[in-house]
Amino acid sequence: MTQATAVKERRWIKHLIGGGITLICLGAIFRLVKFSEVMDALKQFEWHYLILGVMSLAFGYCVRIFRWSVMLSATGSEVSFKNCAAPFLGAIALNNVLPLRLGDVVRALVFPSAMGVTKTAAATSLVVERLIDLVTLLACLALGVLAIQTLQVPPALRESAVVLALLGGIALAVGFFFSGSFARLFNKLGGGTDASRGSAKLQQIFRTIAGLFESFDVMSRPRVLGTMLLLSILVWMGEAGLFYFALQGLGLEATPLMALLVMAITTLSTLAPSSPGYVGPFHLAAFTAVSLIGGTSAQAGSYAVIVHLALWLPTTIVGALAIWSRPALFKAARK
Q: How far is CA 156 from the centre of its chain?
A: 26
Coil, helix or strand at residue 252: coil
Count of C-beta atoms within a 10 Å radius of residue 177: 12
Closest CA to 86 of 313, 320, 311, 316: 320
Give whichever of 22-26, 63-67, 70-74, 105-109 has the largest mean pLDDT.
Answer: 63-67
Burial class (CB in 10 A: 0-12, 13-18, 19+), 52: middle
First and final C-alpha spacing in the chain? 32
Give me the phi and psi of 191, to 5 degrees please: -100, 15
Q: Is the model's pLDDT at 192 over the cut of 60?
A: no
Q: CA-CA distance, 142 to 237, in Å (whole number)?
A: 16
Q: Give CA separation, 305 vs 25, 118, 180, 266, 286, in Å.
A: 14, 39, 45, 12, 9
Report the pLDDT value the prediction gives residue 100, as an integer from 0 to 100.
77
Helices and strands per DSSP (H, E), number in the chain: 15, 0
pLDDT digits (tens, 9 = 90+) for 1-28: 455 555 455 656 665 666 677 778 778 7
Report the pLDDT value the prediction gives residue 249, as an integer from 0 to 100.
95
Into how many domains does the chain fold?
1
Q: What is the mean pLDDT of residues 145-161?
A: 73
Say what percent of the chain tops pLDDT 70: 89
Q: Give CA separation, 265 vs 102, 117, 243, 256, 260, in Å.
A: 23, 34, 11, 14, 9
Q: Are 276 and 231 in contact (CB under 8 A)?
A: no
pLDDT digits (tens, 9 = 90+) for 49-68: 999 999 999 999 999 999 99
Q: Is the model's pLDDT at 207 over the cut of 90?
A: no
pLDDT digits (tens, 9 = 90+) for 257-315: 999 999 999 999 888 776 778 888 899 999 999 998 888 999 999 999 999 999 999 99
Report the pLDDT value the prediction gives residue 308, as an integer from 0 to 100.
94
Q: Are 218 and 75 in contact (CB under 8 A)?
A: yes
Q: What is the pTM (predicted TM-score) of this model? A: 0.86
Q: Is the model's pLDDT at 89 over the cut of 70?
A: yes
Structural domain boundaries, residue 327? 3-334
Count of C-beta atoms within a 10 Å radius of residue 163: 12
Say what percent of the chain tops pLDDT 90: 40
| Alpha helices, DSSP H, located in 75-118 | 81-97, 102-109, 112-115
Closest CA to 122 of 277, 317, 318, 333: 333
Report the pLDDT value the prediction gives residue 305, as an integer from 0 to 100.
92
Q: Are 224 and 70 in contact (CB under 8 A)?
A: yes
Q: Which residue has the higher pLDDT, 275 or 88?
A: 88
